Each structure stands twice: as C-alpha cells, then as structure tokens.
Amino acid sequence: MSCYKIPDISNFKRFHGRAFNDPFVQKEKEKLSYDLVPMKNGGVGVKVMYMDEEHIFSVEQISAMLLTKLKETAECNLKKPVTDCVISVPSFFTDAERRSVLDAAQIVGLNCLRLMNDMTAVALNYGIYKQDLPAPEEKPRIVIFVDMGHSAFQVSACAFNKSKLKVLGTAFDPFLGGRNFDGKLVDYFCAEIKAKYKLDPKSKVRALLRLYQECEKLKKLMSSNSTDIPLNIECFMNDTDVSGKMNRSQFEELCADLLQRIEMPLLSLMEQTQLKVEDVTAVEIVGGATRIPAVKERIAKFFGKDVSTTLNADEAIARGCALQCAILSPAFKVREFSVTDATPFPISLLWNTEAEDTEGRILAF
C-alpha cells in the first residue's frame, strides 16, 4: 500500500498575482504549514515533498489542481464532460490577480466564460428567483449584501428591477474574516497553555495547526451556546493533554477590535453609493463568519433592521456562478436576467506616442 501523499496546501488563493517579496506574502508565509519559495518570474511557488522528491509548484498550478478535482466532481455528477465555467473572485482582486486565476483555469483546459465578483454572484443568486421585483420603470429595490468569509469582509449595494440587477457599489476589508477571530482564540490559548503547562504551541507547526482546528470548532460552538465551552486536546505536545474553556461574552471581549472594524466598510459603501439607511429594503448576509452573533448584531445595528439569512451562507457564491454560467451557455434555457457589475478600481488606458520615451494616458472609468 502506498503511503505517499502531497501535504495539505491551504490559504493559497491570496497569493495569486503577487510577487514573492510582497510584504503580504512574507507575513503570511510564517503562518503556513508548507514552504513558499520564489519562482523564476518573481512569483510565489509552493515547495512540497512527494515520494521522497522535492517539487515546486506555482500558485496557478496549485489552483489548477483544485479546479481539476472540482471538474472531475462535476463530470461525475453530470455524467458528461465539463468545459465551460464561471469563476468568482473577491471584489478587491486586482487585474494581475484575476489574470493569474484565468491562467489556472487555462492549465486545466477550462473555458472560463467570466470572472465574476463574489458579491455579484450572491446578488444574482438572490434576484433571479424573485417574482415580486419592481417593474423596470419603477423605483428599484435596494438590497445590501454582506459577506464575511474565512479571510475577507465584503459588502455590496445592488438595485433590483424585474429581470435585472445593477451593482451600485462595493466596499471591503481584505484582511478581516473568520480566521482573524480564530487567531484571537489561538493567541489566548497559546498564552494559557504556556502558563499552565509550560508548552509553547507556536514552536511546532503541527501543534499550532491542531490548536487552530480546535479553536475554530470552539468558535462555532460559541455561536449557538452562551455558556462556558470546554477545549480539550489529548496528547497535544510531549504526550501532554491540555484543556481550557471560554464563553461567548469572553470571546466578544477578546475580539472587540475586530468587531469595531465591521463598521468602516459599511460606512464606505453608504458614502460611495450616496444611499441612506432608509433606502435599504433588506440586508442579506452570507459567509461562515456571519454566524458569529456579535457580527450579526453589529451589521443589524448599523442598518437599524434585522439581517436576512435566506441565502445559503456557504453556497451562495457558487450557486450564483452556476447561474451565470447557465445564462452565458447556449446549452441551457434560463430566464433572462441582466447583470450590470461595478469595479472598485479606476481603469486607465496607456499607449506609446511618437515622441521618444513618452506615453499617453487617460483615466477611462
């Protein structure tokens, strides 16, 4: 029986389109269980040992491996080849990051019909099934979509009329997500374990990863229970069992600075779109981290109304992409639904002029 296995590689999406010497990459690599190395083109490479041999893969190749598995899963369920797809990316992804994702799709042989912003995919998933949207000539329904996932916080304002949606604006905090809340728990229990058991989890990667997993479970349990929740890990380090506990109020106090950061993207969105709270019909939340009660409360308090959880928090983006792919594909008959997206970044055009060493430039949008 073969026991060789490529090590688990996670949290690599944000390395797309970045240089190895990017400060973000240098900061992130300290938290990873695998090694990052510079590629010849200056990009980010992942070094792994497989069958006693060292291999270096680009981030595009790693993403291509994931897309290959997803392609196989889709083909297994659909019982036919899959060639076309729509891939979502965070609203804050730059042109370089988006091109890197397209390169990954090309490696697999997938024809990416469109790169779709995460929040636009959520909005499509929400609107296409609505039967009570205003007529095209009527005042649109304004809906705010809020997504706090593993590593980022994104918000979007959309205007809905029958058979169409228009993205009015987007805002985000690219460095606020569920993993930040996990990190607060990890730091707390690292200090407690060090004081109580004289062990340093941060000195061993495997121990630290195990603590991260247990803290994530603890976070989820605290979302549905306000009482003390125990944390027990057997044979954690040096065959020592460790234990601790925390309750929701302690957790919220621990994460007070993270909770304060929720308001800034919401304020930015309202200023950008010139909307008033009274203009908003509904606030839809998705993403695993929005299950944290304190996160929900902050969002609801800002808009002065209860948040809605009608969409599947984990699958809303994927479903939106599937719907967009069906709309673009001639193989499927889907009800007409127009999507007008927005970009958070300015678009410039540059060209060379006849004069030597000069170039023309214009800000298009």
The answer to whether domain 1-61 and domain 178-257 are alike in fold is: no
> Helices 205-224 and 178-197: crossing angle, nearest 10°?
120
Would you state the pLDDT for residue 347? 77
Whole-angstrom CA distances from 288 to 118, 146, 276 are 14, 11, 27
What's the topology of domain 1-61? Defensin A-like (3.30.30)
Strands 229-237, 164-173: pairing kind:
unpaired
Strands 282-286, 240-246: pairing kind:
unpaired
Q: How far apart are CA 119 and CA 296, in angstroms?
A: 18
Instruction: Provide the 3-class DSSP secondary structure of residue 115.
Output: strand
Cα 233 versus chain centre, distance: 29
Q: Which tens digits make up the pLDDT trace of 130-145?
A: 999 999 999 999 999 9
Examine the pLDDT at 91 and tell me if it is beyond 90: yes
Would you state the pLDDT for residue 1? 37
Q: Which residue has the higher pLDDT, 123 or 329?
A: 123
How high does pLDDT run on average in the chain? Answer: 92
Identify the CA nearest to 148 among candidates 119, 186, 109. 119
Q: Which tens digits make up the pLDDT trace of 258-276?
A: 999 999 999 999 999 999 9
Residue-range domain boundaries for the chain? 1-61, 114-176+261-340, 178-257
Q: What does the angle CA 61 – CA 18 – CA 107 come to, to the nearest 5 degrees?
A: 20
The residue behind tokens 């990416």 is 112
Q: How far apart are CA 99 and CA 225, in angstroms?
A: 43
Q: What does the angle CA 182 – CA 186 – CA 189 come to, to the nearest 5 degrees?
A: 140
Q: Which tens digits make up the pLDDT trace of 202-259?
A: 998 889 989 999 999 999 999 999 999 999 999 999 999 999 999 999 999 999 999 9
Q: Which tens digits make up the pLDDT trace of 186-197?
A: 999 999 999 999
What's the topology of domain 114-176+261-340? Nucleotidyltransferase; domain 5 (3.30.420)
Would you state the pLDDT for residue 6? 54
Write the CATH number of the domain with boundaries 178-257: 3.90.640.10
Would you state the pLDDT for residue 51? 77
